[in-house]
Amino acid sequence: MHEDLRNYGQLGDSEKPLVVSAILLALEEKDFSTESLNGDTVKTDGQKIFDAMSAHMERVKVEPQVKKQRVIDQFRLIINRPVLSEYDERLGKSPLRYFAEYLHSNILTAICNNSPEDVLGRFYGEFISYSGGDGQTLGVVLTPKHITELFTDLAEIKPTDKVLDPCCGTGGFLIAAMHRMLIQAKEEDKENIRRNNLYGIELRDDMFSIATTNMILRGDGKSNLICADFLKQKSEEMYKKGFTIGLMNPPYSQGKTKSTAHLTELKFICHLLDCVGDGACCVIIVPQSTMVGKTKEDKIDKQYILDNHTLEGVITLNPDTFYGVGTNPVIAVFTAHQPHPKDKLVKFVDFKDDGYEVFAHVGLMPTDRAAERKKYLLDCWFQGKTAPNSFIVRSTIEADDEWLHSFYYFNEEIPSETDFEKTMADYLTFEFNMITHGRGYLFENTINGSKNE
């Protein structure tokens, strides 16, 4: 699909998911058919898709009007790019008809079955990865499906919860949360969940449009999504909305200088905790460096968190979770508006071995161990299942600590005779290797500047 959108549509990487979104919305309109896309030069295929997409947004009553117009404006490229509507001899039809037929056959059903998969997010992520990463330079790291589902498990989301994702991207967390809530909910409560229990904020216009499309396709035409800067939202006003769950994957590596110090991941965490309701559970995925908190400002923010909120635990993830991005992520779980008790034992987990591996030409995929590893994690997290320190450590914390498993871990195993013999063998091999390479002087003992014979 990536190749076809480029070769036949001459579309840039950030434009491709918008074209896909517009077509999927048009296909939802009952009076629209791919048969009507005939390469007409008077009313173009692009105009037909745009009109059907606009009509569907009217039908599902996307509100307010300013939000609907903002989304529609993002999709105007489908009209303004003539090559999309022109007959292509290689295809025997216009590129738009070709794309529409493909999406209708292969994608639409998966989305409309309320799958927890963020399908449009997957599209976006694939296109960005092919491009060499224009998303990465903006701190955009989309969350994989198995992580969004793990978030909903750690937050123990219920049908009565009110969920906020303040950096919602393409809507992955909201989709996973909605999927879990609908599975548990009574039939008469499902409409209220879709329309009133899911809130999202996204700064980027293109991602906001994709997220809105994602929610519309899942029957959520009045989704509470806004296109805005989360850090500029007043915490006092957000607090009044009574959010019980916060899920967040904030932009990464934006607060590198004094002028951007207000954009660090810790600033996003502090603001989210301040915005949600009393006792709300917040689950956040950030780089490991966030939990280290090297700078003076970071330590101040960590102390602020402990003074006003509670850290429940931190899970160190597989380094390949964001495969191709080069970020070593962790998940941190907090309880809002409850000062951290001094004697609280916080959970620190080493979950690098999560049962997911990178496969050539495919990327990160689950192995047959993935389900078992996830169950083991959740049993240890919620039920206190006995596990070695190498997997989970429970410890009191200070703001100056590195909130990571590796900081609190100590090896409690007593070395065996075999371990001793192996260590000695390794050392002797190393010493022999150094001597044969003319570096035997490294092993000569000296006392007061003279050799000890």
Q: Is the omega angle on the peptide bond into residue 95 within 30 degrees of 0, that is, cis?
A: no
Per-residue pLDDT of the chain (453 residues; tens, 9 = 90+): 888 988 999 988 778 888 988 998 899 888 899 999 998 888 999 999 999 999 988 888 776 677 788 888 889 999 999 999 999 999 999 999 999 999 888 877 766 665 666 667 767 666 655 544 434 433 456 788 899 999 999 999 999 999 999 999 888 899 899 999 999 999 999 989 988 999 999 998 888 888 888 888 777 756 688 999 999 999 999 999 999 999 999 988 776 777 777 889 999 999 999 999 999 999 999 999 999 988 899 999 999 999 999 999 999 999 999 887 778 999 999 999 999 999 999 999 999 999 999 998 778 899 999 999 999 999 999 988 889 999 999 999 999 999 999 999 986 667 788 888 888 898 888 888 888 888 887 777 654 544 444
Cα separation, 448 vs 433, in Å, equals: 28
Give the three-state DSSP class for 183.
helix
Q: What is the pTM of this model?
A: 0.81
**Which one, of 275, 317, 3, lies nearest residue 147 by Cα?**
317
Q: Is the omega angle on the peptide bond into residue 64 within 30 degrees of 0, that is, cis?
A: yes
Pairing of strands 281-287, 329-335: antiparallel
- The domain defined by 119-408 folds into Rossmann fold (3.40.50)
Q: Where are the domains of the chain?
A: 2-106, 119-408, 417-451
